[in-house]
Structures are given as structure tokens and as C-alpha cells.
A and B are shown apart, each in its own frame.
Chain A
């Protein structure tokens, strides 16, 4: 709709205006899961921000807390067992965590929207896809059935579904994986949200389809000047799309940098390990260096740096003192006691 640098949006009596283009601020966020076996700290004091038109990739392994972060922002965590003991998630300056539930609900879709990993299970199997897209317009815009369906057709055309008008009444299982993910994207961008969160949007897809979906996301983001959060475990996927990368490990941010800086000179041994495990065309014949070991159990995170049991550079201090996330170079944050050495290496 608008591509101006600062857009003002209003939902009912509420107005959301990003200040200096700042859409989202996550500040010192904690998420715990209270289960019968104990308390697992899934997110441990995470802070980051997202600006208009910016793409931020959050990178990490399973259990690093990246998906939980996305779900916390979206407000779709199951609470209980999830508990948010402290932290802030500000959207255009307003804290989503303290917001009235009804007001927050109205932000889901028009303001903040989300794409899920597995579109087959994320779309309702018993409703036609067009109906599921149209539901956005009917719920948030109060549109009538036929107008909403017309909008759905347009969106399906926008996300490049061939024969959109004929397939608007088809069901999710009648589409291929890539097409289903396009429908998922159509649902998410239907109301032109300011922030789009994509949680592993291509993990379930074939390689060629992955590239198409990423290209579509990038195109849509530029067209609509959305703030895009890309949750992924795959460094390769985000390299072209992301502006900045935040690396998560065991519920903490361990590195945050511009994408070019991070690729050129990682500032954390974990990030470096990730980069070394990417096969490269110019290193034919070399074995890939995988990171040994497994991520820690979130109920028993080791003292000191959580990465120390797997770190090749670990010293005594790493086993006792938790390294803070600090600026190690202009615009670069790392949570490693020896970040400077890692960068120079």
C-alpha cells in the first residue's frame, strides 16, 4: 500500500507509528517452559531490534530458542507451559506483552504476521485455501464473503499461483509443497503487515523450490517495505536475503552482525563452526568440519559459556564465567571471551 519511510497505521482506536523506522524492539526477553520434569529456560535474556524494510535472520540449531522467540513475538506460545518471567517486546513503542489481549489480537495479521515451516499442517485441511486467505479480510476488515474472496484471488495471483481463480476453492492437500507455502505467504501478507516473521519457511521444501520461495519473500519485502525476521538453521538460505544476522545458542544471542561482516569474519567460535560446515565450491575435496557434540540440555545449561563443552578454544574462564554480549568491533556484538581473537583468526 505505502512505501514511504515512516508509515502510520491505525487499527480501530489504536495507532502504530514506528519511531525513526524502528518497528520492533525485543528487550531482555526470557521464556521458560515449566514442565513436570523441571524448568527449561528456552530464551535467556535476548535483545534485538528490527527496522522498517530490514531483514534480520535469526540463526540457530534446534532448541536454540529461535522458534520460541518468533512465537513469543507473535504471542502464540502455549502459556502454560510457557512463562515469560521478564522482558519486553515493543511494537512501534508499545509493549505487546502488557497490551490488552483483544488489542494484541488485532495486531496479529495487520501489524505482525507469520509464516510457518510446514504449510501442510499449518493450513486447516478442511477449508478451501481461498477461504482461509479471505478469512483475514473478513475478520480484520469486516469484508463480505465475495469481496474477501476476490482479494484472496488477487493475493494468490500475487504469490504466483498459476490458475489462481480456478484454484481458490481447492483444499491445501491438493497443492504441491511449494504452492502451499505460497498460500501460507498469501495469508501472512494479506493485510500488508509491517513485520513478517518467517519460521523456517523453506525447510520442508525441495532445493529448487526453496530458492523460489526465498526470492518471493525478498521481492515482497522490498515491495512492501516490511521488516522481515527470518528464522532458520541454514546459513546458506539467508545469505542473499538477510541484512543482519543474530546467532542464537542455548537460548542466548551469541553474535549479532551485518551479514557481510559475519560471513567474512565471524566473531564467535560457534558461528565460525557453522560457516566451516558449509560446503564451498572453492574447497573441493576437503572434509567439512562439523561442530562436535550436541547443544546443552536447557534444564541443565553448563556454568560459564554454554558453548564451552563444544568449543575448541575453551579456556578455564569459559567454564566459570558467562561471557556477556558486547561490542567487539563497530556494529558487531559477540558473546565470547576471546571474540577479538576469533575475528582475527
Chain B
């Protein structure tokens, strides 16, 4: 087990380096002059420009710049934006909001998705089954920005059921509820379908037949024996989905005006603020890789047939 984790962590390093380099290279290629507008209408004095370029290593070729960046990153230094603000400070401010949003979305997709999947799986072909199948298909088909816009308008503005936007800097659970539902809506549909498919398959399995032959109640045979096995891939999906949700937050956060990392990255890209983009995405990739590792380990715990030796 220990060696497995070690091997996985070692495998993560080249992936993390590759992903950050990729982002770094793309940001490096961003058009536009970082010095533009620094000194009012006029071009900057040569001395200032030189100092500025020296500070941000702008004269180095890409690999050197990247090497210096990674060197600093390894020491926990995310660098500064061109405005001299520490990126780490910004991330500390933004990430909790997005993490809260993503966790709420995960919670929603898990609870609603699994319940819907179970209810439809045990009554395959029934009214509820078809209703959920159709509605999940609809949810999967409607892009998230349309769902977001509609939910904001109807649930927020028209019927006043939820706060329309996040007003203060401190996003409360209540304020994030509607965005989390929107963010999680696509995954709810996937989780429901995945649960249903697996449950239907497992209900036909030999060991569920054994469970019935053992005289167990239907509730126990389905709710414990079949469901326990059906949920293994579902939990794996939910784990992997965490990364996708962090990425998807970019749209949700822009619709609901949430001061999270998605909006932050988006604005940083538009303002050509490389250090912020690379820093934020690096953390995102790191979180994704760590969550993947945890999911893999969890998988081994849930399914004794998988061994991590």
C-alpha cells in the first residue's frame, strides 16, 4: 500500500510538470505587452522597463522562465501579478469560495443522483424510470450556461426562492445554493444514470439471487448487496468529477458573480495576467491529481478484489 502511494505520487510529478508547462507556454504566448498602460499614456522609461522585465524574467527564453517559476513554486512562491500583488494571497482568498461551491455541488449530485438512480433502477421501465430518464437527458442536453441563466431568472429573480447573486465577499452556503445546484445539475444526471445502469445490472447478478435464496428481505438484498456493488463505480465517478466541477465553475461563477477562482482565472486571462493564471491552474491540476489518487485508494477499499500492492 505504502509503495503504491509512493509510486503514484512519483507518477504525479511529471504530469504536474507537464500540465503546468503547457499552461505556462500558452500564457507565455498570450499576445499583448505587459508593460502597456503601466506608465500612463507614454511608453515606460527604459530603466523602469528593464527593471520590470528583469523582475518578471521576461527576457529569458521560455524554458528558463519556466524553470525559474517552478523553482519558486517548489518553495511555495506563486510569484506576483504585474501589479505587484502576491498571487498566493489572491488564491487564498478565492479558492475557499470555489471549494465550497464544488463541495456543495458534489453533495447535491451524490444525494439526488443516487436516490434518483436507485428509485429508477429498482423499478426499471416504470413511470418514474422513464420520467427520470427523460429529465436527465434534458438536463444533459441543455448547456450549463442556459440552465444557469434560466435558474437565475426563474428561481432567483421571478420567484425569489434563492439569492440572485453573491453580494458580499463572503459567500454563504445559502447564497451558493442555487449556483451549486446549477453546477451539479449535469453530474446529477450522470450519477443517476450510472447508478441506475449498475443497479439494474447487479440486480440480475448471481449474488443477489443468492441473497434472495438466503431469505433476506428484498430491502436488504437490494439496499445492501446490490447497491453496495453498484455504488463502487458511482463513487469513482463522483471523485473524478470533482476536478471537472472546479473547471466548470468558470461559467457558473461568471453567471452568479461569485468571487471564486473560476471567475478569477477568467478575468486574469482576459487581462493577460500570466502569473495568476498559471498559479491558479497549477493548484487546480494539483487538486485534481490528489483527488484522483484518493479516489483510486478509496476504490481499493470499496472493492476488495482491487489490490494496490
Give B195-228 interface residues, CB cut-off 8 Å to A.
204-207, 209-217, 220, 225, 228
Give A117-145 interface residues, CB cut-off 8 Å to B.
118, 121-127, 135-136, 139-140
- Please give, as numbers and ranges, the residues of chain A lying within 8 Å of B204 by CB-CB distance: 78
- Please give, as numbers and ranges, the residues of chain A lying within 8 Å of B206 by CB-CB distance: 116, 118, 121-122
Q: Which residue of B lies closest to A190 (CB)?
A: B214
> In the bound complex, do residue A122 and residue B303 qualify as a contact, i.e. CB atoms below 8 Å apart?
no
Q: Which of A104-112, A149-157, A261-269 is the interface stretch?
A: A104-112
In the bound complex, CA of A108 to CA of B210 (Å) = 10
Across the interface, A110 reaches (CB within 8 A) one of B205, B207, B215, B216, namely: B215
> In the bound complex, do residue A122 and residue B302 qualify as a contact, i.e. CB atoms below 8 Å apart?
no
> In the bound complex, do residue B213 and residue A121 qualify as a contact, i.e. CB atoms below 8 Å apart?
no
> In the bound complex, do residue A126 and residue B302 qualify as a contact, i.e. CB atoms below 8 Å apart?
yes
> In the bound complex, do residue A123 and residue B209 qualify as a contact, i.e. CB atoms below 8 Å apart?
no
> In the bound complex, do residue A173 and residue B304 qualify as a contact, i.e. CB atoms below 8 Å apart?
yes
Q: Does B229 contact A (CB under 8 A)?
A: yes
> In the bound complex, do residue A121 and residue B214 qualify as a contact, i.e. CB atoms below 8 Å apart?
no
- Please give, as numbers and ranges, the residues of chain B lying within 8 Å of A127 by CB-CB distance: 225, 228
> In the bound complex, do residue A105 and residue B207 qualify as a contact, i.e. CB atoms below 8 Å apart?
no
> In the bound complex, do residue B207 and residue A122 qualify as a contact, i.e. CB atoms below 8 Å apart?
yes
Q: Does A226 contact B (CB under 8 A)?
A: no
> In the bound complex, do residue A123 and residue B215 qualify as a contact, i.e. CB atoms below 8 Å apart?
no
- Please give, as numbers and ranges, the residues of chain A lying within 8 Å of B302 by CB-CB distance: 126
> In the bound complex, do residue A140 and residue B215 qualify as a contact, i.e. CB atoms below 8 Å apart?
yes
Q: Which residue of B lies closest to A110 (CB)?
A: B215
Take A105-B217, A139-B220 as given contacts and tell me if A124 and B212 are in contact as well, using a CB distance cutoff of 8 Å.
no
> In the bound complex, do residue B304 and residue A76 qualify as a contact, i.e. CB atoms below 8 Å apart?
no
Q: Does A92 contact B (CB under 8 A)?
A: no
Q: Which residue of B lies closest to A117 (CB)?
A: B206
Q: Does A74 contact B (CB under 8 A)?
A: yes
> In the bound complex, do residue B215 and residue A116 qualify as a contact, i.e. CB atoms below 8 Å apart?
no
Give B275-309 interface residues, CB cut-off 8 Å to A.
302-305
> In the bound complex, do residue B215 and residue A109 qualify as a contact, i.e. CB atoms below 8 Å apart?
yes
Q: Does A339 contact B (CB under 8 A)?
A: no
Which residue among B206, B207, B215 has the maximum number of chain A CB atoms within 10 Å of its CB? B215
- Please give, as numbers and ranges, the residues of chain B lying within 8 Å of A107 by CB-CB distance: 215
> In the bound complex, do residue A124 and residue B225 qualify as a contact, i.e. CB atoms below 8 Å apart?
yes
What is the size, in residues, of chain A's interface with B at 8 Å between Cβ atoms? 28
Q: Does A114 contact B (CB under 8 A)?
A: yes
Q: Does A335 contact B (CB under 8 A)?
A: no
In the bound complex, CA of A187 to CA of B207 (Å) = 12
- Please give, as numbers and ranges, the residues of chain A lying within 8 Å of B216 by CB-CB distance: 105, 135, 139
- Please give, as numbers and ranges, the residues of chain B lying within 8 Å of A116 by CB-CB distance: 206, 209-210, 213
Q: Which residue of B lies closest to A108 (CB)?
A: B215
In the bound complex, CA of A116 to CA of B228 (Å) = 21
Q: How far is the CB of B299 from chain A (nearest CB, A)?
A: 12
Q: Which residue of A lies closest to B210 (CB)?
A: A122
- Please give, as numbers and ranges, the residues of chain A lying within 8 Å of B207 by CB-CB distance: 121-125
> In the bound complex, do residue B215 and residue A76 qualify as a contact, i.e. CB atoms below 8 Å apart?
no
Take A108-B215, A109-B215 as given contacts and tell me if A124 and B229 are in contact as well, using a CB distance cutoff of 8 Å.
yes
Q: Which residue of B lies closest to A191 (CB)?
A: B215
Across the interface, B210 reaches (CB within 8 A) one of A110, A123, A126, A171, namely: A123
- Please give, as numbers and ranges, the residues of chain A lying within 8 Å of B220 by CB-CB distance: 139
In the bound complex, CA of A146 to CA of B209 (Å) = 26
> In the bound complex, do residue B305 and residue A171 qualify as a contact, i.e. CB atoms below 8 Å apart?
yes
Q: How far is the CB of B182 from chain A (nearest CB, A)?
A: 35
Q: How far is the CB of A6 from chain B (nearest CB, A)?
A: 23
Q: Does A308 contact B (CB under 8 A)?
A: no
- Please give, as numbers and ranges, the residues of chain A lying within 8 Å of B214 by CB-CB distance: 108-109, 135-136, 139, 187
Q: Does A113 contact B (CB under 8 A)?
A: yes
In the bound complex, CA of A123 to CA of B213 (Å) = 12
> In the bound complex, do residue B205 and residue A121 qualify as a contact, i.e. CB atoms below 8 Å apart?
yes
In the bound complex, CA of A291 to CA of B228 (Å) = 46
> In the bound complex, do residue A126 and residue B215 qualify as a contact, i.e. CB atoms below 8 Å apart?
no
- Please give, as numbers and ranges, the residues of chain A lying within 8 Å of B215 by CB-CB distance: 105-110, 136, 139-140
In the bound complex, CA of A46 to CA of B77 (Å) = 81
In the bound complex, CA of A231 to CA of B210 (Å) = 16
Q: Which residue of A lies closest to B211 (CB)?
A: A124
> In the bound complex, do residue A76 and residue B303 qualify as a contact, i.e. CB atoms below 8 Å apart?
no
In the bound complex, CA of A78 to CA of B208 (Å) = 12
In the bound complex, CA of A132 to CA of B305 (Å) = 16
> In the bound complex, do residue A126 and residue B303 qualify as a contact, i.e. CB atoms below 8 Å apart?
yes
Q: How far is the CB of B77 from chain A (nearest CB, A)?
A: 46
> In the bound complex, do residue B210 and residue A125 qualify as a contact, i.e. CB atoms below 8 Å apart?
no
- Inter-chain pairs besides A108-B215, A127-B225, 10 sampled, C-beta below 8 Å: A76-B213, A110-B215, A124-B211, A124-B228, A126-B229, A126-B303, A136-B214, A139-B216, A139-B217, A171-B304
A residues near B, CB below 8 A?
74-76, 78, 105-110, 113-114, 116, 118, 121-127, 135-136, 139-140, 171, 173, 187
Q: Which 3 A-B pairs have the closest CB atoms?
A: A108-B215, A109-B215, A121-B206
B residues near A, CB below 8 A?
204-207, 209-217, 220, 225, 228-229, 232, 302-305
Query: Could you name 7 residue pairs across A and B whose Cβ atoms are closer than 8 Å?
Result: A105-B216, A108-B213, A114-B213, A116-B206, A116-B210, A124-B225, A136-B214
